[in-house]
Amino acid sequence: MKISVFYDHIKQAQMQSGGEISDYLDMLLAAGVNGIDIHLTDLLADEAFLLPELQKRNMQVSCIYETYDLGVETNDTHPEECALVDTAARLGVPTVLVIPGFFTEEEAAFIDSKDRELFAGSSMPEYIVAFSELPKVQCMAKRLTKLCAYAEAKKVLVTLEDYDNILSPTRESKMLMWFVNRVPGLMATFDTGNFITCKENSGELISKFGTRTIGHMHIKDRGVRKNGFASCIVGEGYLPIEQIVHRMVKSRYDGFYTIEHFDLENQKEGMVLSAMNLRKMLLGKGKK
């Protein structure tokens, strides 16, 4: 059973409630957590302290993530995104998550107009052609293709997620799947709580993605506050988290399930309760 949390949540809990990072790792280990997802900058800054603390608890870094601007052409033979893969390979981290950059407001507006045409009767192929012909999208795919080939040689899996930003080129399922289908070796980090921001149902989409395309999982629930987008403890929101988890277990997914609730008011309590609820779901003992 592979359950992880964001290192950012641990640091936020420390700011909210005090205590040492090592104490939080003990607390999380007791709750069934055995991994952490971490921003590359945080990992490089805290590596000397953090890695020994994880190792002596038989915990590990489950995923490293970083944001780049892959929509810009480069002639660099070793572009900056390779550092993410190099760090993962050096530390034995199985998966990296790349945020590939963002559209301009004009580019996002163009894609939104094609979205409206799609729902007005235009076909999905027409939408995908318009999306794929954007120079920034083509450049992202090109650089991701090179990155995935580089990562494969180092036995590191590269993923993109359904990132919940209006300017994200992967915010909708059809956008994310375009990249996954286009770039050899690329897989998805399936975030259970982000598709709802585009009015998509993660419970329905999980079967469309499946283990063939999912390399990592972010388990994010949503509460009713903030127009339905509030962070909340896993299992206490309105999203079909248990249904999704059971689907992944049944399909023999063997990657990490990373608990995510940025900016929760009480991260210390939230991480433990989320881990307990998620563990019950993975064992088939959640709410029915």
Number of domains the chain is built from: 1
Confidence (pTM): 0.94
Assess if residue 239 is contained within a domain: yes
pLDDT of the residue at 288:
46
Q: What is the pLDDT of residues 22-40, one digit of tens each?
A: 999 999 999 999 999 999 9
CA 172 to chain centre: 14
pLDDT of the residue at 165:
95
Q: Which CATH number do you get for residue 116?
A: 3.20.20.150
Q: What is the pLDDT of residues 199-257, one digit of tens each?
A: 999 999 999 998 889 999 999 999 988 878 899 999 999 999 999 999 999 999 999 99
Contact 94, 156 (CB under 8 A): yes
What is the residue-averaged pLDDT of the chain?
A: 93
Assess if residue 110 is contained within a domain: yes
pLDDT of the residue at 227:
78
Assess if residue 235 is contained within a domain: yes
Contact 91, 61 (CB under 8 A): yes
pLDDT of the residue at 119:
59
Q: What are the structure tokens assigned to 27, written together?
A: 């607390």
Contact 268, 24 (CB under 8 A): yes
* For residues 89-108, average pLDDT: 97
How many percent of the chain have pLDDT more than 70? 95
Assess if residue 287 is contained within a domain: no
Domain containing 243 equals 3-282
